[in-house]
Structure 1
Amino acid sequence: MALFDLLGRRWAMGVVWVLSEQGPCTFGQLEAACGTISPAVLNTRLKELRAAGLVVRQDSGYAVSDLGREVHAALLPLSATSKKWAARLARQTARKNA
């Protein structure tokens, strides 16, 4: 449950996702890749994710740890399911508006 609590925090999963997909990023690169994240939220999430062992600090910036890669891999099936769900909702909305 502690992992779900951490990942459920605003932008926590997004940070892990970006670092897993793009590789190591500096703070500025990560902020740009996340789009609407504030520097304060990003700083807080990085501290929490580092403390949990999902993210590490390297010379090249922040990166996911082995555990972070494992978490990302576990979330991939959920991502596929969420895309199917979003498409279904879009179709339902389109039918209602037609």
Structure 2
Amino acid sequence: MGAGTPRPGVPVRGSSSGRPVMAALDLLGRRWTLLILWELSQAPGGFRELQRRCERMSSSVLSTRLGELTDVRLITLREDGYHLTQLGGDLVDALQPLFAWSRRWAEEADAGPAQGSRHCDE
């Protein structure tokens, strides 16, 4: 595995615990990672195809992210391009409630200021 690739059991940015959820959040919080996973959930793709589908991100960043995602077994490279693994597909499925929530959040944010909002100190 790459030296900087987050993985369970190893401290990551913002956490010294090594908890798997912290490693997952570190990995998913890296720029372009979620977009790559999303694009591969729609269809497999080779390097150039992914670069085009991912808003023409730089080849060095794409290469780094593909390496990280391969290292942690979320994607695999086959003759016809990169594919999600079973684990990668399971992750995309697990993120579906977050995607749905984010759409509701966006709709409510567009509706204007919240009425009777809750605060942590209440």
**Pairwise same-fold verdict (TM > 0.5):** yes
State the TM-score, normalizing by the size of structure 2: 0.72
Offset of 1:66 from its aligned partner? 0.5
What residue in structure 1 maps to residue 31 of structure 2?
A: 10
Which portions of structure 1, spanning 4 or more consecutive aligned residues, are displaced by more than 4 angstroms? Answer: none
Larger Rg: 2
What residue in structure 1 maps to residue 18 of structure 2?
A: none
Give me the identity figure in percent: 40
Instruction: Give the structure with the higher percent helix.
Output: 1
1:83 equivalent to 2:83? Answer no
- The unaligned stretches of length 5 or more in structure 2 are 1-21, 114-122
The aligned length equals: 92
- The unaligned stretches of length 5 or more in structure 1 are 94-98
CA RMSD of aligned residues (A): 1.2
**Which of the numbers 69, 72, 80 marks the counterpart of 1:52?**
72
Letter of the structure 2 residue corresponding to residue 85 of structure 1: W
Offset of 1:36 from its aligned partner? 4.3
State the TM-score, normalizing by the size of structure 1: 0.88
Structure 2 matches for 1:38-77, cutoff 5 A?
38-77=58-97
Offset of 1:79 from its aligned partner? 0.3
